[in-house]
Structure 1
């Protein structure tokens, strides 16, 4: 399997491509990474160095792969943090090129906008561009709860609210949705929920809630869900595999009191999670 991953990149730590590429490779996927930005570290530290790349660079790199005659072998495009609306347009152009070469290729968009407690943390114009242009073009989207609320304009308090928001998001275009973190009034205080919605139904995965908030976990779970969905064709199976692996990574990172996700040290959790969580249909 070959995945074109267009995301941010950091030299230190694990977010964006730094969080998605290795897990995919560890599971046997050939990844073609294109970086939208290259920073020293993720922005959660409050200070960083590096630059946002010009959108034209993305198009040039995709054209270079096309020149090699390899877009026909691309099974899917994965995108995350975009950096600018112009970069978003370049990603959509890449998706068009890949689909023209291989109509069976899927586009998975992690619509990075913000998070509960932090609000919107991307540049002005990007959230609206994602909602109006990118999400309608995606086959699969992987928002967190905050992003799902923003994209659909529907506040989430209960599981019923999540269902309504998913209906609205499906109506925008995506066939499959992974909500990467959900806390409703039905979620036990010591737990956190993930939810997948697609043609085969809606499934909820509940794992213990760890007292940790790590940048890059959402990038990893989006990549893993995309991979397992491509391999199995089942949203429920992909939810179980991705959620179990990321929980294992988070638990190992929490136990080590690390500020960065221990993707390399805990890589066995990617292949064979210590604990497998099974979703149930809702």
Structure 2
């Protein structure tokens, strides 16, 4: 059985971080060990929240406790998302090193959360530097959006050719696999959006309708699904197609519901059995 150690934030109300990622991975048959870096009442997009930010030492202690059970050798991947500070980054990198020492075949999947094209960069100025210089070089798989890809590689990808060139620069930093979400090239048909995966010598892209909504946690679900499908199949094209299918149906159901939070549990069938309604096009 595939096992993933997921080090992310958590909320009681709604679905972001581990509260978005854990259930979809479990629904796909993965053993998930969540380690929470915060435990908030709700995501910070509401402008008000309550609950503790976990001390880096406490997060490290949880991972050490798992290690003391001699369990890290069972871990196939470490998954991380938003990193709230440099000290948490150190804890995550240390966990990756410990897991890989116990299981050299394990991978590190990093969602390098920094911002988006609409909002710009919304993290502390130290975080992009941390990600660029230390975290991404340690990762095997990264899942930036197009804006974050540009930030990481100090480029401004717009066209498909630009984006592929930026991906190649990112891969030169360390990761062998890159999933680019929210690809918005200028020559795409109106009201569409794309997702791009590059793995080995191949590159694939999928186009879907662009739904008129902002959904906190959708990136966390995307990273979790793609990581899981890639681990289970070893096929980036299949992983891309399944991920896009499930995420689109999740977003459509959320939009139709009129609710702000992802309708994650209500979409579990589409997560477990993706409809594969979009064409996966190989472009390299």
State the TM-score bracket (shorter-chain normalisation). over 0.9
Aligned to 1:53: 54
Aligned to 1:64: 65
Give the secondary structure class of the aligned counterpart of 2:108.
Answer: strand
Aligned to 1:155: 156
Question: Is 1:190 aligned to 2:191, yes or no?
Answer: yes
Question: Is 1:126 aligned to 2:127, yes or no?
Answer: yes
> Partners of 2:138 and 2:280 in 1: how far apart?
28
Aligned to 1:203: 204
> Partners of 1:112 and 1:172 in 2: how far apart?
17
Structure 1 residue runs of 5 or longer lacking an equivalent are none
Aligned to 1:11: 12
Superposition misfits of 4+ residues, deviation over 4 angstroms: none
Residues paired across the two proteins, number: 282
Aligned to 1:27: 28
After superposition, what is the alpha-carbon deviation per residue over 1:30-61, rounded to whole angstroms, capped at 9, x for unaligned? 10000111111111112212232111112111
> Partners of 1:116 and 1:67 in 2: how far apart?
43
Aligned to 1:223: 224
What is the alpha-carbon root mean square deviation over aligned residues?
1.0
- What is the CA-CA distance between 1:26 and the residue it aligns to? 0.8
Aligned to 1:103: 104
> Partners of 1:186 and 1:208 in 2: how far apart?
15
Give the secondary structure class of the aligned counterpart of 1:174.
Answer: coil
Give the secondary structure class of the aligned counterpart of 2:73.
Answer: helix
After superposition, what is the alpha-carbon deviation per residue over 1:143-174, rounded to whole angstroms, capped at 9, x for unaligned? 01111110011112211110111011011000
> Partners of 2:115 and 2:191 in 1: how far apart?
23
The answer on whether the counterparts of 1:52 and 1:83 sit within 8 Å (CA) in structure 2 is: no
The answer on whether the counterparts of 2:206 and 2:244 sit within 8 Å (CA) in structure 1 is: yes
- What is the CA-CA distance between 1:188 and the residue it aligns to? 1.4
> Partners of 2:220 and 2:187 in 1: how far apart?
26
- What is the CA-CA distance between 1:82 and the residue it aligns to? 1.4
Q: Normalization by structure 2: what TM-score?
A: 0.97
Q: Please list, as runs of the form range in 1=range in 2, the aligned pairs for 1:36-51 lying within 5 A after superposition.
A: 36-51=37-52
Give the secondary structure class of the aligned counterpart of 1:78.
Answer: strand
The answer on whether the counterparts of 2:73 and 2:103 sit within 8 Å (CA) in structure 1 is: yes
> Partners of 1:147 and 1:223 in 2: how far apart?
18
